Amino acid sequence: MNFLITFPPLVKVLTIFVFILILNKFRCNLGTALLIGTYFLALWFGLGIGQTGRVIVSSLLSSQALTLLLIVILILVLSKVMEKCGQMERIVNSFSAVLKNPRLSLAAMPALIGLLPMPGGAVFSAPMVDVVAGNSKLNPSQRSVINYWFRHIWEYWWPLYPGVILAVSLTGIGLPRFIGAQLPLTFAALLGGYLFIFLPLRRINLAEPSFPVAREWKIFFREVLPIILVILIAILFESATWILKSFTGRELSLPKDISIILGLLVSLIWVTVSNRVGGKMIKEIARDKMLYSMSFLVIGIMAFEGILQHSGAMAGIKENLTELNIPLTVIVAFLPLVSGIVTGVSIGFVGASFPVVVELVRANGAAGQLLPYVVLAYGFGFMGVILSPVHLCFIQTKDFFRTDMSKIYKRLLLPCLTVLIFTVLIFRLLK
């Protein structure tokens, strides 16, 4: 046991990741695999059984975990209601009619949902992609990577994402400068998606909309109103709290992501009333197995993240890198990348690695060039999130289309490499 404890933290974390993936490969539910991996990770980092239990319980009862769980449940219920009452199909058909290009709709649907800064939002767009793809020859892994990749093209700079706001706060870089520097990464993601996801599909024919709709934007906006409501309420709520803080100096002590929860609730009420949803449909949705499997998955992710934070794993990885005298540029890129893979969420890799990145840059006398290092850190960190096996959107997409992680990974590597190359180029140009 003492021999195992002497392993470097990075080796320990990566070993547990491999262990979790092996369990999942052999048909173990990923939520269960995460909890098993969490237990062994805690023991490997010297946490006792009692302490491990307390950390997991406190992590699951935290406001972050509870709001995340509520958001995921609301997303799933809203998407299921819209799907069962036909509104999801009406959105797809009206948008396809407006665009007159079903292939473009494949990317546009998840990109539209991507404007919503909600955890697990890929489960919202997956049914839309599935409807557009219809009975075409697009296989499950192709549908998965389209939904997953284009769902995340805005998250490099879109100011409604908590990871972006946290990065701006931790670095002290103004939001306009941050957006200006990060915006090219969205174009890089679009380029990578076009070259390596869409071009290989050019010979696959997609069907026209299944029923005729007037080619007018107003029909599309009417059908997509539930999504607009979520975005609009989130923006109005965040703007109101910012104005209150600016004029009164007081900040509302509300749970994180409360604006998204309010928006989802209003949207759910709107969809239920406008589609005259009855008790029978509500009972069907309440019995849906996906609702419970996704909820259990969130529990596994939050437990794993809690042990990572309390075990000192990320601090240990940082020490491993600095002790080896690795160049600053490599550390700034690698630490967020590992943090992104480990946490699976943008706010996770930003919160875990950016304080270290900022201090390392300043300690090396490069504080005047912080912006290029921030772009480097965010680009690599977010690619870590995209490639993370515990990324909720990744798991939800895989489960919805019933495909294998390895098949999605094969299709993600070249688009991810495109973004990383652009990240390095922007870093060099800014320097």
Residue 231 lies in a domain: yes
Residues 427/373, Cβ–Cβ less than 8 Å = yes
pLDDT of residue 206: 61
pLDDT of residue 215: 53
Residue 318 lies in a domain: yes
pLDDT of residue 277: 82
Rg (CA), the chain: 22
Whole-angstrom distance between the N-terminal and C-terminal Cα of the chain?
A: 47
C-alpha–C-alpha distance, residues 12 and 38, integer Å: 12
C-alpha–C-alpha distance, residues 152 and 396, integer Å: 14
| Residues sharing a CB contact under 8 Å with residue 368, sequence separation 6 or more, in sequence order | none
- Residue 201 per-residue DSSP state: G
Residues 268/233, Cβ–Cβ less than 8 Å = no
Residue 312 in tokens:
């000192």
Residue 30 lies in a domain: yes
Residue 39 lies in a domain: yes
Q: At what angle do helices 370-387 and 175-193 cross, to 10 degrees?
A: 40
pLDDT of residue 213: 46
SS (H, E, C) 405-426: HHHHHHHHHHHHHHHHHHHHHH
Residue 265 in tokens:
């609730």
Question: How many Cα atoms within 13 Å fall on the side-chain side of residue 138?
Answer: 28
C-alpha–C-alpha distance, residues 27 and 267, integer Å: 36
Positive/negative CA dihedral, 45, 46, 50, 55: negative
| E strand or H helix at 391 | none
How many domains would you assign to the chain? 1
pLDDT of residue 1: 45
Residue 294 lies in a domain: yes
How far from chain centre, in Å, is Cα 264?
17
pLDDT of residue 208: 55
C-alpha–C-alpha distance, residues 53 and 56, integer Å: 5
Residues 74/118, Cβ–Cβ less than 8 Å = no
Looking at every residue in the chain, the average pLDDT score rounds to: 81
C-alpha–C-alpha distance, residues 343 and 306, integer Å: 10
Residues 147/131, Cβ–Cβ less than 8 Å = no
Question: What's the domain range around 402?
Answer: 2-205+215-430
Q: Consecutive sets of 10 residues in the chain, 431 residues long: mean pLDDT of each? A: 62 79 73 86 87 89 81 80 79 70 79 73 80 78 93 88 79 86 96 92 62 61 83 79 76 68 88 85 80 78 79 73 79 87 81 78 76 96 92 87 89 96 96 83
| Residues sharing a CB contact under 8 Å with residue 260, sequence separation 6 or more, in sequence order | 71, 116, 117, 118, 230, 234
Residues 381/339, Cβ–Cβ less than 8 Å = yes
| Residues sharing a CB contact under 8 Å with residue 354, sequence separation 6 or more, in sequence order | 166, 167, 170, 171, 336, 374, 377
pLDDT of residue 3: 43
Residue 290 lies in a domain: yes
Residue 210 lies in a domain: no
Phi, psi dihedrals of residue 346, rounded to the nearest 5°: -65, -45
DSSP characters over 385-405 = HHH-TT-HHHHHHHHHHT--H
pLDDT of residue 212: 45
